């Protein structure tokens, strides 16, 4: 009798990631992952406490892929380069983009470290050098709101032949420049008190 195959957690995540790329994260079930591996569901639950646990670790892989793509674009302004990478991710990895940006999930807090990493990359650029770490973090958040709108346009196929760098420079960069000029340095994604919300609306 041939020995039984052993499946590591990484091998299971590889199969789940492949399924996500092809069919979307909502189709990543224990049975489909097991079918992809050619095994029962037993090995999955020997490594993961639940499918929710597997999905969270899968989300970590998707975010890591996003960071790699967003960081791969060479540009003198790191924020513009990351924006172009964001749109490239939406274009080249539509199922991954949908998984992380276009469906409800519990792991939005995982974007905090990604934003801090981007804010750190900006600290030596002349456009952002006068900002402190919190202000750069907030600026990345504001830019991400615009980038998400552009990402949906790319993901949906409504801008199939767009020049991605031109999109970022014409639509996202003006928002960044306005924030710098007006001193809009509050983080829109943070929890705000009623008085902070009034201050924001007044500005």
Do 151 and 98 touch, CB atoms closer than 8 A?
no
State the Cα–Cα distance between residues 188 and 141, nearest whole angstrom: 7
The reply to whether 67 and 35 lie within a common domain is no
Q: Each residue of 118-154: pLDDT tens digit?
A: 999 999 999 999 999 999 999 999 999 999 999 999 9
Q: What contacts 140, CB < 8 A, 6 or more positions away?
A: 79, 115, 118, 119, 122
Residue 19: pLDDT above 60?
yes
The reply to whether 37 and 68 lie within a common domain is no
Q: What is the DSSP letter of 27?
A: G
Q: How many angstroms separate the Cα of 202 from the Cα of each of 190, 195, 198, 199? A: 18, 10, 6, 5
- Out of 3-7, 13-17, 54-58, 122-126, least confident range: 3-7
The reply to whether 8 and 37 lie within a common domain is yes
| pLDDT of the residue at 5 | 66
The reply to whether 40 and 89 lie within a common domain is no
The reply to whether 69 and 122 lie within a common domain is yes
Query: Which structural domain, as residue segments, surrounds residue 40?
Result: 1-48
Note whether residue 53 is domain-resident.
no
| pLDDT of the residue at 192 | 53
Q: Domain tally for the chain?
A: 2
| pLDDT of the residue at 190 | 81
Q: What contacts 98, CB < 8 A, 6 or more positions away?
A: 24, 25, 155
Q: What is the mean pLDDT of the chain?
A: 91
The reply to whether 31 and 81 lie within a common domain is no
Q: Could you tell me the CATH number of the domain that includes residue 16?
A: 1.10.10
The reply to whether 100 and 193 lie within a common domain is yes
Q: Each residue of 154-195: pLDDT tens digit?
A: 999 999 999 999 999 999 999 999 999 999 989 998 865 444
| pLDDT of the residue at 194 | 47
Note whether residue 203 is domain-resident.
no
The encoded tokens of residue 165 equal 């760098």
The reply to whether 176 and 76 lie within a common domain is yes
The reply to whether 2 and 32 lie within a common domain is yes
What burial class does residue 183 get, using C-beta atoms within 10 Å of its C-beta: 0-12 exposed, 13-18 middle, 19+ buried? exposed
The reply to whether 35 and 121 lie within a common domain is no
| pLDDT of the residue at 6 | 81
């Amino acid at each position: 009798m041939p020995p039984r195959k052993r499946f590591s957690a990484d091998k299971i995540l590889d199969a789940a990631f492949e399924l996500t790329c092809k069919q979307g994260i909502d189709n990543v079930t224990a049975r489909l992952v097991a079918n992809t591996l050619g095994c029962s569901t037993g090995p999955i639950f020997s490594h993961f406490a639940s499918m929710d646990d597997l999905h969270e670790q899968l989300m970590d892989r998707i975010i890591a892929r996003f960071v790699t793509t967003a960081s791969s674009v060479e540009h003198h302004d790191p924020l513009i380069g990351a924006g172009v990478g964001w749109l490239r991710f939406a274009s080249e990895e539509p199922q991954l983009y949908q998984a992380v940006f276009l469906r409800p999930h519990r792991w939005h807090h995982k974007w905090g470290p990604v934003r801090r990493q981007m804010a750190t990359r900006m600290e030596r650029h002349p456009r952002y050098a006068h900002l402190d770490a919190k202000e750069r973090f907030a600026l990345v958040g504001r830019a991400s709101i615009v980038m998400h709108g552009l990402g949906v346009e790319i993901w949906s196929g409504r801008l199939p032949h767009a020049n991605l760098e031109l999109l970022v420079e014409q639509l996202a960069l003006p928002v960044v420049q306005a924030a710098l000029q007006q001193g809009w340095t509050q983080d829109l994604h943070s929890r705000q008190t009623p008085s902070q919300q009034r201050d924001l609306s007044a500005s």
